[in-house]
Chain A
């Protein structure tokens, strides 16, 4: 879902860059209070993995593929500040080294694939702190779908504001075309997110929540 070079107008890319820049700065300030060696390593490893996972495009409709975003999953696992830092790093590397996403569109891409899904992920994070179960599964799945659809809708709005959609197409038509595809991509994003969160919460709850290993065992007993 990377917005390529030349699609956003200067007004749109500068304002989205300002929003994402502010979110990233705030994330770095908050992260400073939370980071320890363990978290720094986890952040690095999860970033490497999400980068790799984004390379795996899967077929969704004839002639169309999709790939994971990962911002939602990271939001659930680590909370928005760390998730935003990780997603921003991935998107910078993709844009500067692999020509994936316009350089001037970086702020917009960080907003759509980093800030927004990370915040949605953080909203459902608390559920897993209490108890893993069917409710947490379902809410996380729906959250994953919603995160992708909100991001996809924002992309279309940004393109419309940039005058990068034909005048003959209404905003709602464009959102319809975009969101039908991204509903399917979102279903995969939601399902993968549930599977990964379940696995991590079960095997390494202390890596997700601020619990000492001993207390994590007591809490899950």
Chain B
């Protein structure tokens, strides 16, 4: 990895950790625009059989087992950001490998 790429990675990840891990703790606790609209319209009751992922490690944006608070939220912000980063680096690498395989001549 070149120096520029490493710097991009470090600076970007630091920004994500500060915003997702710290700033988000001070976020508004109120329902978002869609949730509020559904409440106001009396449409906030699910009518179809939906699927929600089980809260395995995180109960919404809160790490389970450390109580609701700054660190539970910080863990969610950091873990989510890193997970998205790793998925995208993985997907990017896979797509590139296929591209290189397509470009190379048949033996």
Residues of A within 8 A of B (CB): 1-10, 28, 31-33, 35-49, 51-53, 55-61, 63-67, 85-86, 89-90, 92-100, 102-105, 152, 155-156, 159, 162-166, 169, 174, 177-178, 181-182, 185, 207
Inter-chain contact B19/A64, CB cutoff 8 Å = no
Give the interface SS of chain A, mostly helix, strand, loop or mixed.
Answer: helix
Q: B44 CB to closest chain A CB, in angstroms? A: 9
Check B51–A104 contact: CB distance below 8 A: yes
On whether the beta carbons of B27 and A98 are closer than 8 Å, the reply is no
Q: Which residue numbers of B lie inside 8 Å of A, CB to CB? A: 1-2, 4-5, 8-9, 11-13, 15-17, 19-21, 23-24, 27-38, 40-43, 46-53, 55-61, 76-77, 79-89, 91-93, 95-96, 98-99, 102
Check if A56 sits within 8 Å of B5, measured CB to CB: no
Please, which residues of chain B bring their CB within 8 A of the CB of A163? 47
Q: How far is the CA of A207 from the CA of B8 in the complex (A)?
A: 10
Contact of A9 among B23, B48, B61, B76 (CB under 8 A): B48
Chain B positions within 8 Å of A43 at CB level = 88, 92
18 A-B contact pairs sorted by A residue (CB < 8 Å): A35-B92, A40-B93, A45-B9, A45-B85, A47-B85, A47-B87, A51-B16, A55-B77, A57-B28, A63-B30, A67-B32, A97-B56, A100-B61, A102-B51, A103-B50, A103-B53, A164-B48, A169-B43
